[in-house]
Structure 1
Amino acid sequence: MTEHRSTDPERGCDERGDRRRRTGWPSRRAFLATGAAVSAASLVGCLGSGSTATSTPDAGGAATSGGDETTSAGGGSTAGASATAAGEPEPPWTTEQLAGYVDDGAEVTIYAGTGDSQQWYDLVDVINDEFGTTVEATVFASDGAAVSQRLLQERQAGEDKADVVSVASNLRDRIKQKGREEGTAYAKEWFEWGIDENFWFADALPDKRVLPFLVSGFNGGAGVVLPVSTEIFEEQGLDYPETYNDLFDDQYEGLEVAFSGYVSSGMIGWITRYHAGQTEIGEMEWIRSLMDRFEVVGVNSHSAGMREVGKGNAAMMLYNWPWAAAPFVKNEDLAVEGIFTDPAKRNATEGGLSINRNAPHPWVARYFVSAMLEKSVQRRILTDVTDQVPVRTDLDLSGIDVDPYTKRRLNANLFPIGFWESAEYSTLGQKAVDTGMFEP
C-alpha cells in the first residue's frame, strides 16, 4: 500500500542555508488520525510534481544537466565547499549544505522492502526536526520482492517514481549473483553512483558499510539471532548456547526446531562456514551432523516460527533476523528469548539505502540519505522511530532507555560480511538447503 503524507506548508523560515526550526507541522500519526486518504490518481499526480532537481549524476558519478553532456566533477572538494556556478552544492556534501538546497515542502518518495511505512514517516519527521526542513514523504513499503518488481515495472515503462530505495531484495540479490564485475555494471543501471565519495560520511563509517551505490543506514548490530523457548529451556534445565557449536552438546539432543518453508541460504551458509571452520569437520558434514540431532517442525513463516517457540511448541529456531524477532521477544505473553551468539553475523550493508539513478527528486534523496547517517538522527531512531534501530555504534546513548534485547543486539560481538562476499555464503547455504535437511 502506498501512502502520502501531507503537512501544512506555512511556517516561518530563515535564509536558505541556515538551520531552520520547524513550526506547526503535524506528525504522521496526527495526519492519520484525521482519516485522510489519497486516491491512486492524486498519488500519481503527486509523485510527478515538485522536483527540486536540476541535475542527476550519471552512472559514473558526475552530474549531467538538462539532458546535455555538460558535467560537473565530483572529486577534489572539501566538506562545506562553495556551490557550483549552477548553484548546486559540490561534493563531498554535508547535511547542512543539502538541507539548505532543498525547497520548502520538497517531496521524497521512498520504496522500502521493510514491510512497514510508519518507520519511514517517523524518520522524515526526525530529520525535519533536526535540520529545520519541511520534506514531505510518500512511502511504498512491502516485501523486498514486491519493491523490486515495482521498480522494474516503472523502469520498463519509463516512469521511475522512487527516489530512495531500501531493501529491494530481488534486485540486490541479482547484483550479487552476477559477481563483482558484471554486478557493478548492473548496479550502475539502477542506482546513482558515487555514494562512497560524494557524502561526508564516506570516511566516518566503518569499513564495508559504504559502496558506490549503497550505504548501510539502519538495522545495526547483530544480523542473526537464535530464538529459544525460555519455558522449555527452564523446564528441561538447558543452558543457553553461546555459539552454534555448543548445540552439539548432548543436552540439546532431540529438541524440536522450527523452520519456515523459506530457508535463508545466506544465514545457513554463514552458520555452517564459520562454525565448521572452528572444528575439524567439513562444512556439509557439519551442518548435516547438527541437523541430525534435531526434530524439524515446519511453520509457514519466520514470524510463525517465533510464535511457536514463544508458545512452547518448539524449543528454538536455528536462526531469525533480529528485527523480525524483536516484537515477539518483547511480547510479554510469549516465552521466547533471542540469543546473540559469539560472534554474530553482521552483513555490513544491512539496512541499505540507495538513490534511484532516475530519481525524480535526486537532491531531496541525497539530503535524506545524508541526514539519516547523522549521529543526532541515529540516536533518535531509538526513541522516535517505530520498530527500528540505528546502524551507528559510536553513539552516546546516555539518557536513553534501551530495552535489554536491543542493547544486547547493538553490543554483540560481530563478524562483518561485505556485500560481495555474502554471495559465497549464500551459495554454500543453498547447497545445504537443496538436500532437504531443513524440511519436516
Structure 2
Amino acid sequence: MTRLGYGEEIRRWRVARYCEHDRHLNAQLRDFTLMTAGSKAEGLTCLFESDRDILRTLNGVICVETGINLNTIPDDISVFWMDDTGVYPGHCILLLKRPARLLYTIINDALCEIGYGKLLLSSVLFIDECSRLATRHRLGTVETVLHERAGPALPETRGGILKLDYVYSIRCQCPSILHRWAVRPRHWPQSVVVQKVVSLGAYVTPTGFRESENKHIEWRICFNSGETELMNNLNETQANVYVLLKWILKEIIKPTNKEITSYVLKNIILWQAENTPQTEFHSRSLLHWLHDGLRGLRTAIEKKLLNYYMIPERNLMEACGLEDALKRKWIKDITEMIESGPNVILRLEKIRKAIVASPEPMLWFSKTRTELEMLNLEKMNRVTKCENENGEHDVPDFMLYALRKRQEEILREMMIRMLMEGCSINEFPKMFERINVW
C-alpha cells in the first residue's frame, strides 16, 4: 500500500498541503469560507484519482437549534431556526429567525413565505441561486467545464483532468446532537479528539430526504469538519482497510446509480473503530478487518440498514434505490469474497500489478509517482500564494521555476524510459495523468 501511494507519511503530507491551499484560497474570499472535504482532506487519494470535494460555507449566516441564545450571535449575522418536526432524522427545515440588516441576494431570493409572517429558506431555490452564481463566476475560467448538478454538488472539470465538486452550505449550531454523539461509550477516539469534533460544529447542505414530499425545502445536517478530523485520527491499518473497501466497491461491486457510496464504507469504518480497542488494529490484522468490513457491508445491503455514525437515527441505506435482484447479487458476491480469504485482494487490479511487477521498476514507479504528486501540490500552493501576494499569475517566482523545472526533468526521464522499453511516443501525453491516478 505504501508503494502504491497510500502510506502514512504521504497521507499526512497530502492533508497538510490541502489545508495550506484552503488557507491561501480563503485569503482571497469574502462571502464564503472554503474547505476541502472527503478523501482529499483525508489524504487517501492520489492527485487525480477522484474528485476534490470542496465545501463552500456562506459567511454572515447561521442556523441554530431551539434554545440557543440569539444575543450571543452578532447582529450582522442572519439567523435561521432548525425545525426538525416531521422530517427524516438528520434533516431539518430552516425558518428565518432574525435577518441581518444586509441580507445576501443568494439568501433573499431563496426565501419563501409560509403564512403568519414566517419565512423559510428553500433548499432547491438556494442551490439554484448557487448554480447561477457559480456559472457567472466560472464563465471566464480557461478550460473549465460545468457539469449537471449531482444532489447538492455542483461538479466541474478544469484542464480536462482536475475534477471538482462544490457543495454550498450554511454553518449551524446543534449542541444537543453533538452532545449525544460525544457521550456515547466508546473505545475510540480519545476524549481530546471527541471535544475537538464537538468544537468544529456542523453544517447544513441543500438536499432533502429522497422520498420526502417536502424535499425541496429540507436541508441535510452534515459534520464534514468533524468527520475529516475523525478519519485523520485513524491509524494506518484502518485507513488501508477503508482504501481497500473503496477499491472493492469500484472494481467488483460497481454500483451504477450510487445505491452504495464510499460514504457508506466510511461509516462502516468509523463504527468499526469506535467499537473496537485501537490496539487490535495493526498490520497483521489488516485482512481480518477487511473481512469484517465486508461483513458489515453485506449486513447493510441485506437489511438495508446502516446507522449514520454521527446521527444513528438516520439510516444511510434508506431510499438508496437498491432493487432485490441487485441486492441478492451483491450479497452473493460479497459472500464469495469473504470465503476466498486473503485471495480477495488479488481481485483488485492495483494489487495484482504491484505483486506481479518486478521490484526495481515498481520502486522507480512509486518514487516517481510520489515525487510528481508532491511537486504538483507544492506548485498548486505556490501559485495561489503568489496570487495573494502579487495579484498576478505570471509574476516571476524562483520557487515556481524550480518546481516546474524538476517536473520537466522527471517527465523527460519517463519519456526516455518508455522509449527504451518499446512504448510509442503517442502514449506519453496521457502518462502524466495516469501516473497520478495510482
TM-score, length of structure 2 as denominator length: 0.24
Structure with higher RCO (Cα < 8 A, 6+ apart):
1
Question: Comparing both structures, which one devotes a greater share of its residues to helix?
Answer: 2
What's the TM-score, normalizing by structure 1?
Answer: 0.24
